[in-house]
Structure 1
Amino acid sequence: MTFPRIAIAGAGLGGLACARVLQLHGVDVTVFEQEPAADARPQGGTLDMHTDTGQVALRTARLDEQFRTLARPEGQQIRGLDPHTAEVAMDEIPAGDFRPEIDRGQLRGLLLDSLSPGTVHWGRPVAEVTATGDGARLTFTDGVTQDFELVVGADGAWSRVRRALTGVRPVYSGVTFVEFGLDDADRRHPALAARTGQGTMMTKAGGKALVAQRTSTGHIRCYATFYAPEDWTTGLDFADSAAVRTHLLERYAGWHPDLLAYLESHDGGFAHRPLNVLPVPHAWTTRPALTLLGDAAHLMPPLGVGANLAMLDGTELATALATAPSVEEAVRTYEAGMLPRSIETAKACATGLHDLLSDDLRSMAA
């Protein structure tokens, strides 16, 4: 059987999962990634792998056993604290390993190590994607072009492939994250480490939340989350950590000092992460040479489902490509399942984002 030439734009979790399953079926695939190397930047915090999405993808990729050696079932703990007293209002540790946690960097490394050497071409940013008579053409930022029978957009929120397929761009959700962290927390910040627990600590009131997540390395990644206009950072220099800290402490004034200590004790700088989302529904008419997965297809609030869906997207697309009689039929089959699923999940995430910033502590565990 002759398989098509396939390119994947983006070496995130979804693109790598797709490449892994394609290679398991003997399908040649090339992944193009704009970053210069796998370790060019930190990969973010911790992820919970869901039984019906992320774990299904890992089994399809035949990486479930390796995942189990890295995952942390104890990371499923979720603790809610009262913002004004710092008292524990909710503390849940699910039985078993329904949604075991794994560091995003570890999961990406697992996927990368599973691929044939040379599959990922690092430092190859895509400038433009155009449909041709019998496929699609990638134009890279250095002007070089390459043609493929199928180009898969796994290139995230600001996808170049999406630009060629739908032209739809993300919009600001009205909610922003400010990310910061505590290194070697058990030794350097033992009180905050104990308050965080083994998984995720959350507290919220008045349209503001504070989230802390433990990783496998003893690092605690934190997020100040709140409603804000898109231009709220005007006049605030994020290179000036002291000014950002002062601003956040003022914004969270009245919260218990033991919780404000997360902001006061952090190591390093602050990173601004405005939450952008794609409109719901985001759908398109199937085109045989182009398709999307993950955030490129359904960018939604980061409430624990994005990575899971991206990996499921990638493995389902790869399976369809390896088994369908044509690229067009494979893409049509994949999109017929992915699009309705992503639309319903995006609707739920939109509601969940506002639940996150409500005053109901119980909604944290949803």
Structure 2
Amino acid sequence: MLMRIAIAGGGVGGLTLARILHRHGIDAVVYEREASRTARSQGGSLDLHPESGQKALAAAGLAGRFRSEARPEGEEHRILDPAGRTLVHHRPDPGSFAGRPEIDRGALRDLLLDSLPAGAVRWRHRLVAATPRPDGGFALTFDGGRGADCDVLVGADGARSVVRSLLTDTTLSPVATLVELSISDADRRHPDLAELVGPGNLWCIGVRRILAAQRLGDGSIRVGISLPPDGCPLDTYRSTRALLDVFDGWDPRLTALIEAGDGPPTPRRIEAMPTGTRWAHQPSITLIGDAAHLMPPVGEGANQAMLDAAELAAELAAHPADPDTAIRTYEEAMFTRIHPIAEMSARVQAMMLSATAADDIVRFFSGRPAEPVPAD
């Protein structure tokens, strides 16, 4: 009997899992709540790590496609203080893929979607309930009343996972407030800002606040403001004027990133699961990515989601007649792998929004005290 695998969630983790399973001749259907691949912006850029994200793409047979889409120059990283002085400036070797090249989230998602057979992704399918069946597996119910059955259910449905609630009642805790803006066509419309940000990432670090900017492959700049989870209503940060007040006294060359936003700021809460979260194994169901181990967004989330997918797919391919063993083996290895990464992510997040963030982050990146160096 063919094993029917349902993957709830069409982010990079769920799509990577579906792709690798299909390479092994195992059918899987991805149920995605969005209406289409173009229904919304996919966010900023990702640096894919050789030991996780890139490793998963190799297992998916997509390493070559990744190299054609990725931007090794996007690894360039500058850290400034509020006066605009350069604290750190990392330049990657030109054209080198040896490190952690950047790729836009949208480009990575398209790469994965294009690798799947027609019908592998069911759009407009928001999972609202999964009910265990007497003979094993789950009956799935989607928004609007549609249903489906599966033998194995994988929750790849992110921070607010519906599938997670079937395995654990863990609670999420706020770790930051993130406010985002976008600056389109930066080279033409805002050449000074384009030069300031460069081809990669810019972090401007103050006391318990960070003003960051990231160049995307389409020439736009994505601006992100990180603040402590202060309990203020999110509407507080929907005003450009209010954000400029937060950065009062900073170099106007830096706060120009806020003023240049194409539209109003978009604030959201950033949450994380408790470090060390586990659940008791249950047959026919498991989690990957943020559904399994939601961490602060410090560079590991997508990479670990893709590695989860690769490792789960490998176990399911190795035990096609015994998915329970495959899931159990995957979960134990995943829990062991994630624990130190989640601890590190929590430490970095706390460090980034501390009173001594500039000193701590420069030491973290360079191993030396934070001393301003001349701007280029």
TM over 0.5: yes
Cα distance change, pair 342–3 in 1 and its aligned pair in 2 (3 A): farther
Whether 1:130 aligns to 2:131 is yes
Q: How far apart are the structure 1 equivalents of 2:52 and 2:14?
A: 15
Give the superposed CA RMSD. Answer: 1.4
Q: How far apart are the structure 2 equivalents of 1:124 and 1:341?
A: 31
C-alpha contact (below 8 Å) 1:131/1:289 kept by paired residues = no
Among candidates 239, 258, 265, match of residue 270 of structure 1: 265
Q: How does 1:138-177 map to 2 (within 5 A)?
A: 138-173=140-175, 175-177=176-178
What secondary structure, in the 3-state scheme, does the structure 2 residue paired with 1:274 have? strand
Q: How many pairs does the alignment contain? A: 357
Q: How far apart are the structure 1 equivalents of 2:363 and 2:315?
A: 37
What secondary structure, in the 3-state scheme, does the structure 1 residue paired with 2:234 have? coil
What secondary structure, in the 3-state scheme, does the structure 1 residue paired with 2:163 have? helix
**Hey, what does 2:374 align to over in structure 1?**
none
Per-residue CA deviations over 1:154-201 (Å, capped at 9, x if unaligned) read 00000000011112232212x111000111111111111111111000
**Hey, what does 1:295 align to over in structure 2?**
290
**Hey, what does 2:63 align to over in structure 1?**
64
**Hey, what does 1:341 align to over in structure 2?**
337
Whether 1:32 aligns to 2:26 is no
What secondary structure, in the 3-state scheme, does the structure 2 residue paired with 1:160 have? coil
**Hey, what does 1:365 align to over in structure 2?**
365
Following superposition, the deviation at residue 273 of structure 1 comes to: 2.2
Whether 1:356 aligns to 2:352 is yes
TM-score, scaled relative to structure 1: 0.94
Q: How far apart are the structure 2 equivalents of 1:137 and 1:254?
A: 57
**Hey, what does 1:205 align to over in structure 2?**
206
What secondary structure, in the 3-state scheme, does the structure 1 residue paired with 2:174 have? strand
Following superposition, the deviation at residue 237 of structure 1 comes to: 7.6
Per-residue CA deviations over 1:108-132 (Å, capped at 9, x if unaligned) read 0000000000100000111112223
Q: How far apart are the structure 2 equivalents of 1:129 and 1:168?
A: 18
Following superposition, the deviation at residue 339 of structure 1 comes to: 1.3
AA of the residue aligned to 2:150: F
AA of the residue aligned to 2:57: L
C-alpha contact (below 8 Å) 2:237/2:265 kept by paired residues = no
Q: How far apart are the structure 2 equivalents of 1:364 and 1:208?
A: 17
C-alpha contact (below 8 Å) 2:48/2:102 kept by paired residues = yes
Cα distance change, pair 42–363 in 1 and its aligned pair in 2 (3 A): farther
Following superposition, the deviation at residue 52 of structure 1 comes to: 0.4
Q: How far apart are the structure 2 equivalents of 1:348 and 1:269?
A: 33
AA of the residue aligned to 1:149: D
AA of the residue aligned to 1:39: T
Per-residue CA deviations over 1:128-150 (Å, capped at 9, x if unaligned) read 12223311221112223322111
**Hey, what does 2:81 align to over in structure 1?**
82
What secondary structure, in the 3-state scheme, does the structure 2 residue paired with 1:139 have? strand
**Hey, what does 1:304 align to over in structure 2?**
299
C-alpha contact (below 8 Å) 1:80/1:364 kept by paired residues = no
Q: How far apart are the structure 2 equivalents of 1:289 and 1:229?
A: 40
Which shows bigger deviation, 126-135 or 210-219?
126-135
Per-residue CA deviations over 1:43-99 (Å, capped at 9, x if unaligned) read 000000101000100100000000000111110011011212x12221011333210
AA of the residue aligned to 1:170: L
Which shows bigger deviation, 159-168 or 62-71?
159-168
Q: How far apart are the structure 2 equivalents of 1:20 and 1:99?
A: 22
Following superposition, the deviation at residue 344 of structure 1 comes to: 1.5
**Which ranges of structure 1 fall in alignment gaps of 5 or more residues?**
239-243
Q: How does 1:219-234 map to 2 (within 5 A)?
A: 219-233=220-234
Q: How far apart are the structure 1 equivalents of 2:222 and 2:327?
A: 38
